[in-house]
Amino acid sequence: MTFAPGTAHSRIPTSVFGPDERALVAEFVDERIRPIAAELDETERFPEEIYAEMGKIGLFGITVPHDDGGAGGTALDYLFVMESLSYGYASIADQCGLVEILGTLLNTYGTDDQKKEYLLPMLSAEKRCAYALTEPGSGSDLGSITTRAERTSTGWRLRGEKIYIHNAPVADFAVVLAVTDPERGKRGGISVFLVDVDTPGVSRAYHEHKMGQRASQVGGLVFDDAELAESALLGEEGQAFGYMMKVLAKGRLGISGLALGISRAALDAAVRQSLDRQQFGRAIADNQAISFSLASIATELQAATALSVSAARAIDSGDDDAEVLCSMAKLNASESCVRHADAALQVFGGNGFIRGYEVERLYRDARITKIYEGTSEMQRLIISRSLLRSAG
C-alpha cells in the first residue's frame, strides 16, 4: 500500500468491491468531482446532479444489503469509497457518509413500509435526508437533548430545535432524536423519528455559511408542535441511544476516510508544486526542508491509513475493539489531516493563501474533521476510558 501522487486511485484495499468497481470510483472522482470542486466551494451549491449519478452507480449505502437497495459492501469498502470521494472533494464524501449512517439505521430498524418510503429513495438520491441530533445546548452529550415527542391519540407531537444539521436547508425528511420519557433519560427515554420536512409545524431555521466543505449544506430545523403519525417512530420507543451507539463507530470510520482523502490530495498538490516551482534556479523539491516535509506527510498518511484499515476490518469481523479502534482512527486521521494541509500550504508559500488554489480549499476543508462525528477530545476520552478499564 503506497501512495503514488497524481492519481485518483485510492490505495485502500477493498473486500467486495473488485477492480471494475474501484476503477469506476476513480473515474467518477477524476471526471465528475475534481473538475467542479472549486466551483462548488465558491458557490456553496448543493450538487444534485452529482448525487443523482452516485445513486445510479451505487455509491450510496455501501454497507446496506442488495435486497434493501444498497451496494452490499463492507466497512472496508465504505472506507475506500469515503477516501476516494474526499480526494475529489470532501463535501461529496460528507454526503455519502450521511446517507451511509441513515441507511444503516433504516436497514437495521426500519419496517418494510419505512424502507420503501425512505430508504430506497434515499439510496437512489430521489429523497434528500438529514440527521437531526445536535441542539443549541447539546452536542456530544446526546443525553442532554431537550426536543420532546409526546404521545397523542393519533401518534406523536414533536417540539424543539436542532442546529448544525447536515442537509437541513435541502432535506425532504429528517431522522430526529427526541425525548419520549424524561424520567428515564438516555437509557430508555430517547426515541428516533422519521419526519417529513414539509409537515406542518416543521420549518428550516437558517442556512449556515461555513469555513470549509462549503457545498455540504448545514442549517437548523424547528419543530413547533408538529403532528406525526404513529408510523413515524423508527425502531422501538426509548431505544435511540443504543441505536446511536451502534452506528457511531461507522460514522467515525467514515470521517477517518474523509480525512485521509484530504491528506492524499494535499500531498499530491504539494509534490506537484515542489517539482514545478523554481527558486534559485532549481525546483524547490531539491531543497531538503521541502523534501523532508513531503516525506513526513507521506509517512504519517501511510500510518493513518493502516490504522483506519484495521478499524474497518474490526467492524467487519465483529471485533469487540472496533469502537475504540474507530475512535483511534478518526482521531489520528483528522489531526494528521490538519497538519498535512498546513504543511502542503507551506510548500505553496504565498500562493497557498490565495483563493483558487486547491491547497487553500483543502486547508479549510480539513479543520472540521477534528470536530464532527465526535471531537478529538471526545475520542481521547473514549480511548483513555477503554485503556483504563482494561487495566482495572
For residue 311, give the amino acid letter. A
* CA 120 vs CA 21, 201, 323, 383: distances in Å: 21, 26, 28, 36
- Contact between residue 382 and residue 311 where contact means Cβ atoms under 8 Å apart: no
How far apart (Å, rounded) are the C-alpha atoms in residues 297 and 294? 5
The three cell numbers of residue 373 are 462525528
Q: What is the CB neighbour count within 10 angstroms for residue 280?
A: 7
CA of 68: how far to CAs of 94, 141, 343, in Å?
A: 22, 32, 43
Say which residue the cell 467515525 belongs to. Answer: 252
Instruction: Please say if 373 is a catalytic residue.
Output: yes
> What is the amino acid identity at position 335?
E
Q: Report d(CA 268, CA 257) in Å as an integer.
A: 17
How distant, in Å, are the alpha carbons of 9, 326, 384, 385 from that of 389?
Answer: 40, 17, 8, 6
φ and ψ of 340, to 5 deg: -70, -40
How many residues comprise the chain?
392
Question: Counting beta carbons within 10 angstroms of the beta carbon of residue 227, is it exposed (0 to 12), middle (13 to 18) or buried (19 or more)?
Answer: middle
Q: Which of 100, 135, 323, 373 is catalytic?
A: 373
Sign for the CA dihedral angle at 112, 117, 119, 121 comes to positive
CB 40 within 8 A of CB 215: yes
232 near 203, Cβ under 8 Å? Answer: no
The rounded distance, in Å, linking the Cα atoms of 19 and 26 is: 11
For the annotated catalytic residues, the residue numbers are 373
